[in-house]
Amino acid sequence: MAQVQTNPSTSTEKKSKGASKYLISFAIMLTLTAISFIAVGTGAMPVGVLIPVLLSLAMIQVLMQLFNFMHLSDKGSGFPILFIFTGLFAGILAVIAMLYLL
Amino acid sequence: MSVEIEKNLKLSVAPEMPAHLETSTLEGRNKILGLWFFLGAEVVMFACMFGVYLALRNSTAGGPTTQDLYEIPLVAIMTTILLVSSLTSVLGIHEMRKGNFRGVQLWFGVTVLLGAAFLSLEIYEFFHYVDMGHTFTSSAFGTAFYTLVGTHGAHVLFGVLWISGLLYNTRKEGLTDFTAPKFYVASLYWHFIDVVWVFIFTVVYLMGMVG
Amino acid sequence: MATFLVVAVFIAFIALIFTGGYNSDFLDRARKTKIWDWITTVDHKKIGILYIASGGLFFIFAGVEAALMRIQLLFPNFDFIGGATFNQLLTMHGTTMIFLVAMPVLIGFMNVVVPLQIGARDVAFPFLNALGFWLFFAGALLFHCSILFGGMPDSGWTSYVPISLNDYSQGPGVDYYTVGLQIAGLGTIAGAVNFLVTIINMRAPGMTLLRMPMFTWTTLVTSALLIFAIPPLTVALFLLMFDRLFGGNFFNVAAGGDVVIWQHLFWIFGHPEVYIVILPAFGMISEVISTFSKKRLFGYTSMVFATVLIGFVGFMVWAHHMFTVGLGPMANSIFAVATMTVAVPTGIKVFNWLFTMWGGRLKFTTAMIWAVAFIPTFVMGGVTGVMLGTAPADYQFHDTYFVVAHFHYVLIGGTVFGIFAAIYYWWPKMFGRKLNEKIGKWHFWPFFIGFHLTFFPQHFLGLFGMPRRVFTYESTPMVDMINFISTIGVIGMTIGSLAFFYNIYVTTRYGQLAEADPWDGRTLEWSIPSPPPNYNFAQIPLVRGLDAFWLEKMAGKKEMIPSEPLQPIHMPSSSHIQLIISLGFFMSGFGFVFRGFELGALGLAIAFFGMFMRSFDKDRGYYIPKEELENVEKGA
C-alpha cells in the first residue's frame, strides 16, 4: 500500500491522447440528445417513425457511455460486457412481457 | 518440469488488464469487476421498473396525462446537467490515470455539485407535478412514475453522498493503489446513473410527450 | 410492538445477569469469547458454516409447519388447526423452505467449498461476504418475528395480489414477507457478486475455466442467475410494499393498476430461482458420484455446457407458471416449447451421471447413497415437469396436488437429497470429523421411503382433482385414503431427520477424526488439512488439469506442486460493522412492518452510517509471518 509517485506511466500516455477522446464522445452524445429533443419538440416526424428513432439514438448514446466513458473497450472487459448485456437481455424480456402479456 | 510450470502459469486466469493504477492490485481488480456485476443486477432492476411504468403509463384514472405534465425545457436542462457530470467524472478518471490528485479532486467535486443541482431540479419537478394533481397515490400512473424516477433520484443521492465521502476520506492519503480503485468504481456507478437517465428521458419523457 | 419491547428488555436483563453487569472491561471480556469470534468473522469457512447452521435451524421450523399441515389433512373435515392457521403455516413453510433453508444451505456450501476448490486463500470480498450473511439472517429473523408479533403472512409463498393486499390480508403478516425478503435478498446479491468475482479473479495458477470442478461451475452459473433473478423479486416486493404501506396503486384495479404485473415479476424471478436451488445440487451430486466411482466425471464439457444452457433458458420460461392466466395461445405455445427445451440439457446431465458410474469402482458411502437416490427421484420430478409444461394439459393439473407432488420431487428429491449428500461428503473437511455412516443409513432409509410415501400418492390426488392449498376436503373414497397414506409418510421423514440431527450430535461428541483426504478425493480441497487452517493454502498450488489433486496422486505425489515460495500471507481483519448495518436494516424493517416510519428511517440511517463507517475504516488486515506458517506446516 505504498504511496504511489505521481508520475504518469508512459504507456498510458501513449494510448489515450489526452482528454480529447472523451470530449469528442461527449460532443457526439450531446448532439444525439439534442436531436432527440428537437425531433420531439418540433414534431417533424410521425410517431411511428419517431419512437424507433428515439430508442436507437438512446441505445447509441448508452453504448458510447459504456465503451468510452466506462472503458468497456479496454482489454479484459469480457466478463463485464457479458454480464451487462445478459442483464439487458433479461431486462428487455421483462419489458416485452409487461407490454404485451398483461 | 519447470517448462510445464511456466506454461501452466501462463494459463493463469486473472484477466489481463492494462497497467493502470486502479487495476494494479488484485483487490482493485476485484472491486471493479464486482461493481460491474452489481450494475448487471441494477440493469435488470431498472428494466423491470421501466416495464411496470410502460404498462401503467396510460392508467391515469382521470388525472393529468403524460402530455399534460412533461415539458421539454426542464427535462433538457436536467439531461444536460447529468450528461456534463458524466463527462466530468470521466475527466476525473483521466486525471487519476495521469496521477494528478488535484485534478481528481477538482473534477469529482464538480461532479458532486452537478449531481446536487440535478437533484434540486428533480425535487422542484416533483413539487410542480404534485401541484398539478399528479401524486404518488393519485393513480397507477402516478405510483409507477414516482417509483421509477424516484429510484433513479435515490441512486443520484447515494452517488452524491458516496463521492463526497470518498473525496473527504482520501483528502490526506491522496492517490494510492488502495484509493484509486475506489474512485474508479465510484465513477463507474456515476456513469451508470447517466445511462439509466438516458433511458428515462427517452422512454418516460420524450415518448410520453408524443403519447 | 409493545411485546417486542418487553421481550427485548427481558433479553437484555438476562444477558446482564449472566455477564455480571456492564463495567469497564465488559467489552474486553466479550471480545475474547468464542461467540464474538464467530459473529465478527470474515473467514469464508466460518461464514459458510453459519449459513448452513441457520439453514438447519429454519429447516426445523419449516419441517414442523409441514407436519402440522399434514396432520390437518389426515382426515376429511378434520379440525386440528383450522383454515386461518393452515394458510399461515402454508405460507411460512413454502417461503422458509425456499428462501431460508435451500438457499442459505447451498450458499453456505459455496462459501466453504468453492475457495478451497479453486485454490484460493479467501473470497474476493470477505467483508461483503460477512455482510451478506448477516443481512440474510436479519431478514430471516424479521420474517420469523411474525410468529410472535402480529401474525404470520397468509397468502402463499407466491403472495399473489390481490389476496396479499390490505383488503384481503389484514395485519402485518405480508409486510413481514415483503420487508424480510427484501433484506435477505440484498444479502443474497452481495453473496452472488462475491462468488462471481472470486471464481473469475482468484483461481490458482493453471486452473483455466474448463479445469474448474463441477461444483464451482454450478456456483458460477447460479451466482449469475442470482444477479439477474433477484432484482425482479426486489422490484415486485417494492411494488407490493408501496401498495400496502404507502397507498400505491400498482395493483389497485380501480386506479388503473394491474394484478398480472405481480405474477410476471414474481415468476421472472421465480423460475430462475428454481434453477438457483437445483444447479448447486447438480454440482454436489457430480462431485460425489465422480469421487465414489473413482472416475473422472463423464462428459465434463457437456456437463458445463448443459449447466450454462439451463441457466440461460431458465430466463425464458417463466410464463409456464401462468398458462391459465389467459396470455393467449401464442404466448402459451412459445413458453411451453421453451420449457420442454430445458429437459434436453437436464437429460444430458442425468446420462452423464449414469455413465460416470458405469464401470466405476463404486463405493456406497452414505453420501453416495443419497447421490444415487437423487437420480431416479429427480428424474420423476423432471418428467412431471414436462407434463406440466404442456400447456393444454396444464389446464387440468394447474393448482392441484399434482403440482405439489411435482415440485416436492424436484425440491426434496433434487435439492434436499443433494444437500444431504454434500453434508456427508464435506462434513470431514468442514469440522475434521466424519459423520457416522451407520446412523447415516438410519437417516437415509426412513427419509427416502417416507418421502416417496408422502409425495408419490399426491400425483393421483391431483389427478382426482384435489386442489392445493386447501385446509380440508369432503370425504371421498380414494382421496381419504391417499391423504392418510401421505401423512403417514411424514413419520418416515421425521425419523430420518431426527437420526440426522442425532448423527451430528454423536459425531461432534465422539466422532472419528478425519484425515485430510478421507474419501480419496479428486479436487483441491482434499489436498489441505481437515479442517483447513484459516489461510487455506500455505502455498497456492499449481493446477495441471481437471481433478488436479487426483492427477498429482496418480503421478505418485502426495501433495500439490506449489506455485509460489512460502511467504507471509495477508489476511483480512474481522469486523463488527456488518452487524451494525444488518441491525439497522432489521430495525428499519420492524419499523416499516408496524407503520412506525420514524423507526424505519432511523434504522436506515443506522445502516447507512455503518456503510460510511466501513468506508472510513483504516484497518487493511494483517500478515501471518513466514515463521508462524513454517511452524504450523511442520506440525501438520
Per-residue pLDDT tens for B54-110?
Answer: 999 999 888 888 888 898 999 999 999 999 999 999 999 999 988 899 999 999 999
Per-residue pLDDT tens for B156-173?
Answer: 999 999 999 999 988 988
- Give A79 to chain C, closest Cα distance, Å: 9
Residue A9 has pLDDT above 50, yes or no: no
Cell 403524460 locates to: B66
Interface test with C, best of B1, B6, B11, B13 (most C CBs within 10 A): B13
Interface test with C, best of B31, B44, B66, B183 (most C CBs within 10 A): B44
For residue B93, the chain A residues in CB contact (below 8 A) are 71
Per-residue pLDDT tens for A23-47?
Answer: 999 999 999 999 999 999 888 788 8
- The band of A8, judged by pLDDT with boundaries at 50, 70 and 90, is very low
R_g of chain C, CA atoms, integer Å: 25
Q: Domain C270-519 is of which CATH architecture?
A: Up-down Bundle (1.20)
Strands (E), C7-104: none
- Give B127 to chain A, closest Cα distance, Å: 23
Residue B14 has pLDDT above 60, yes or no: no
pLDDT score for C117: 95
For residue B60, the chain C residues in CB contact (below 8 A) are 256
Cell of B55: 404498462
Are C252 and B144 inside 8 Å of each other by CB?
A: no
Per-residue pLDDT tens for C430-470?
Answer: 999 999 999 999 999 999 999 999 999 999 999 999 999 99
C212 to chain B: closest CA residue: B13
- Give A50 to chain B, closest Cα distance, Å: 9
Residue B12 has pLDDT above 70, yes or no: no
C249 to chain B: closest CA residue: B140
For domain C40-224+532-636, the question of CATH label 1.20.210.10 is answered with yes
The full 3-state SS of C279-291, as one line of letters, equals HHHHHHHHHHHHH
**For the whole model, what pTM was predicted?**
0.92
Q: Within 13 Å, how many C-alpha atoms sit on residue C510's CB side?
A: 4
Cell 471464481 locates to: C199
- Give B9 to chain C, closest Cα distance, Å: 5
pLDDT score for A46: 87
Prediction ipTM score? 0.92
Per-residue pLDDT tens for C190-202?
Answer: 999 999 999 999 9
Are B177 and A4 inside 8 Å of each other by CB?
A: yes
For residue C539, the chain B residues in CB contact (below 8 A) are none
Residue A13 has pLDDT above 80, yes or no: no
Are B147 and C242 inside 8 Å of each other by CB?
A: yes
For residue C258, the chain A residues in CB contact (below 8 A) are 102
pLDDT score for A42: 87
Q: Does the CB of A79 have a partner CB in chain C at under 8 Å?
A: yes
- Give C325 to chain A, closest Cα distance, Å: 9
pLDDT score for C199: 96
Q: Are strands C622-624 and C433-434 parallel, antiparallel or unpaired?
A: unpaired
Q: Does the CB of B195 have a partner CB in chain A at under 8 Å?
A: yes
List the chains bordering chain A where 3 or more Cβ pairs fall under 8 Å.
Answer: B, C
Q: Does the CB of C74 have a partner CB in chain A at under 8 Å?
A: no
Are C260 and A79 inside 8 Å of each other by CB?
A: no
Residue C300's SS3 state is: helix
User: Out of B80, B99, B188, whose CB is closest to A8?
Assistant: B99
Task: Say what percent of chain A tops pLDDT 90.
Answer: 48
Alpha carbon distance B143, C257 (integer Å):
9
Which positions ≥6 away from B175 have C-beta within 8 Å? A4, A6, B21, B96, B99, B101, B104, B183
Separation of first and last alpha carbons in chain A: 55
Helices C126-145 and C103-117 meet at what angle, rounded to 10?
170
- Give A78 to chain C, closest Cα distance, Å: 11
Are A98 and C264 inside 8 Å of each other by CB?
A: yes
Q: What is the overall mean pLDDT for chain A?
A: 82
Angle C133-C138-C139 from CA coordinates, rounded to 5°: 100
List residues bridging with C622 in a β-sheet: C571
- Average the pLDDT over C43-50 and give the result: 95
Residue B15 has pLDDT above 80, yes or no: no
Per-residue pLDDT tens for C489-521?
Answer: 999 999 999 999 999 999 999 988 988 999 999
The one-letter code for the residue type at C161 is: V
- Average the pLDDT over A43-64 and give the result: 90
Cell of C326: 389467459
Per-residue pLDDT tens for A59-82?
Answer: 999 999 999 888 888 887 889 999
Q: Does the CB of A74 have a partner CB in chain B at under 8 Å?
A: yes
User: Out of B76, B174, B195, whose CB is closest to A3?
Assistant: B174
pLDDT score for A10: 40
Cell of B98: 495521469
Nearest Cα to Cα of residue C271 among C215, C307, C225, C206: C225
User: Out of A19, A62, A71, whose CB is closest to B195?
Assistant: A62
pLDDT score for B61: 85
Question: Where do runs of H (alpha helix) occur along C40-161?
Answer: 44-72, 82-95, 103-117, 126-145
Are A102 and C260 inside 8 Å of each other by CB?
A: yes
Are B176 and A4 inside 8 Å of each other by CB?
A: yes
User: CB–CB of C459/C453 below 8 Å?
Assistant: no
B 116-175 residues with CB < 8 A to A: 174-175
pLDDT score for C6: 76
B90 to chain A: closest CA residue: A69
Alpha carbon distance C5, C14 (integer Å):
14
Which positions ≥6 away from C328 have C-beta within 8 Å? none
Same fold, C40-224+532-636 and C270-519: yes
Domain boundaries, chain C: 1-32, 40-224+532-636, 270-519
- The band of C407, judged by pLDDT with boundaries at 50, 70 and 90, is very high
- Cis omega (within 30 of 0) for bond into C162: yes
- Give B2 to chain C, closest Cα distance, Å: 11
Query: φ, ψ for residue C20 (rounded to 5)?
Result: 80, 25
Alpha carbon distance B81, B125 (integer Å):
15
User: CB–CB of A6/B175 below 8 Å?
Assistant: yes
Residue C398's SS3 state is: coil
The one-letter code for the residue type at C610 is: G
Please state the separation of Cα B115 from the chain's center in Å: 10
- The band of C18, judged by pLDDT with boundaries at 50, 70 and 90, is low
The one-letter code for the residue type at C606 is: I
For residue B174, the chain A residues in CB contact (below 8 A) are 3, 6
